[in-house]
Structure 1
């Protein structure tokens, strides 16, 4: 599960990390529930389509905020010693998206949404082609979220949980 949301700063973004961000799960956040749209690959493909550039894995390089990277395991032995319920093992995780992703999404004009949804729905990462109506709505929601984040000089974050 992936929830995209905006927050005043990194400290605000990681408040109550065990709770999802969208809908009734956490009403304090302005969020979009994006189900299986991960930031690096599937959202990255949308960013590439919007920019009309080839997709690459480094197009959306997020910054990990939770669990804190500075406290994370660094060796195989440390990974193996983690308890099963460690957030480093199971999540949830919170990442900050780069400003260029926010700005790219915010700049999607209404006239491109339907075409982007149709093209995005054809990427191979979607095992079965998703409903174009769903993708159209999702693109619009992500765009609107990005515009509100821009207006408030905020970043977009992604809350992820298996």
Structure 2
């Protein structure tokens, strides 16, 4: 069983905290999902490495561990303690939102093909990453248009 990653948009960290309180920590997709949350299910696409490599490919720069600039925002690190084993929510840096939102539609197939060839995605089919990338780009565009930020909910 792998780690689940759901990307979503929200106005701010306080809105995310309220969402987590209302859902008892998630999940954000499936039968127990709250209505009205704009979310992309992306199992296996962790923010720092896998999504970070998509961003690096879109920018044409080498991948770096700090490229995504993700920050734990829920649960509060002090309240959770070292024993907390999930779920968690991280806020992605606005640069990630803006880079993804700016990817031209005609670049998506080639970008998805290159992204699918990274070592961390070697388990999947190259064609399978195009729909995921399209959904993430769409989410980023909606977040940018709404003045919102991108977040990732994750659970073991």
Common fold by TM > 0.5: yes
Q: Which of 42, 60, 67 is the aligned partner of 1:52?
A: 60
Q: Quick one: which of 61, 79, 91 aligns to 1:96?
A: 91
Question: Matches of residues 77-116 of structure 1 in structure 2 within 5 Å?
Answer: 79=82, 82=83, 88=84, 90-116=85-111
Find the partner of 1:144 among 135, 138, 142.
Answer: 138
Residue number in structure 2 paired with 1:126: 121
* Matching residue of 2:16: 13
Partners in 1 of 2:50 and 2:24 — Cα distance? 23
- RMSD of aligned residue pairs (Cα, Å): 1.5
What's the TM-score, normalizing by structure 2? 0.88
The size of the alignment, in residue pairs, is 148
2:143 is the counterpart of 1:157: no
More displaced stretch, 131-140 vs 117-126: 131-140
Q: Give the corresponding residue for 1:35.
A: 43
